[in-house]
Amino acid sequence: MTLLAIVLSLFIERVWTTLAELRSFIWFERLVDRFAGKGPARSSSGIFAVLAVMALPLIAVVVAHVLFAKIFAVFGLVFAVLVVLFCLGPRDLDADVHGFLNAWEQGDEDKAQRYARQIYGETAEPVEMRALGRPVVEGIVVAAHDRWFGVIFWFVILGPLGAVWYRLACVLRAKCLRQAEEDAFKDAALLMHHILAWIPVRLTLLSYALTGSFGDTLEALRKEDYGWKSDWLINNHLLLIHGGLGALQLEQELAADEARVVGASHVRAALGLVLRTLILTIALIAVLTLGTWVS
């Protein structure tokens, strides 16, 4: 059922092009503001506040899944498909990249900047038009994990609960990063996301190596310059960026020539890399599923 739910969800996402407009987590952000807003409780007991605000939607998902599965197995499958479908994204990475490329190549700076920030993050520093290629390539290899692979990994491990948990952790992380001040709640929210992302990030890196340049990926990850060995949590995204650039054989080129312009062909290559990785991920899940059936 896990494999079928993932395949159906990805298929529906491909054909239902307006789905991204329906994915909204405003309700969760309002829940966070209501139950973990400003105040002494937020600053003094961050981890408990994060767990409390997560508990209500996660318990609701578990109860609903159990009830649907008990009534009729097909209902459980339909519920799982809807959950994965809702948790992917929330934006369509393929559409964002093609929208960026069209605007960038046509010289439409406003649209190019808007699409670029959807890909590499709204909290990132502004980048001039001609230099957008590199942050977009970096954003693609990171966004593919946050939009697809992290959700799929936790769905395989914990079912609908895992998919919702990871997506809410991403939403909470993005909300906290938009907050300038530091407090215990923000630290706890970021820590939870880092922990949940730790394993799928490394599996995604391995997949990038298999679908791209294996040797260049390993060479990029051997370098000590990026500091991920000194901070095993916070550097999840650094691993994805430099491992992804290595898989695209861009890491060494950029290191040798910092002035090198990352162009549209590199952006297309990055999108191709993550799409191949998505196919590989589904194939591996299929093999594991068939192996389980046979045994």
Closest by CA position to 18, among listed 115, 127, 95:
95
CA angle 233, 234, 239 (to 5 degrees): 90
**Domain membership of residue 66 as a residue range:** 2-294
Do the Cβ atoms of 223 and 94 come closer than 8 Å?
no
Integer Rg of the chain from CA: 20
Number of domains into which the chain is organized: 1
Reply yes or no: is the peptide bond before residue 90 cis, omega within 30 of 0: yes
Output the tens digit of pLDDT for each of the chain's 295 residues: 789 999 999 999 888 877 877 888 999 999 888 876 655 545 556 888 899 899 999 999 999 999 988 888 789 999 999 999 999 988 899 999 999 999 999 999 999 999 999 998 876 677 888 889 999 999 999 999 999 999 999 999 999 999 999 999 999 999 988 887 778 888 899 999 999 999 999 999 999 999 999 988 887 777 655 555 566 666 788 889 989 999 999 877 776 666 677 889 999 999 999 999 999 999 999 998 887 777 6
Distance (Å) of CA 118 to CA 24, 102, 268: 15, 15, 16
pTM exceeds 0.95 for this model: no
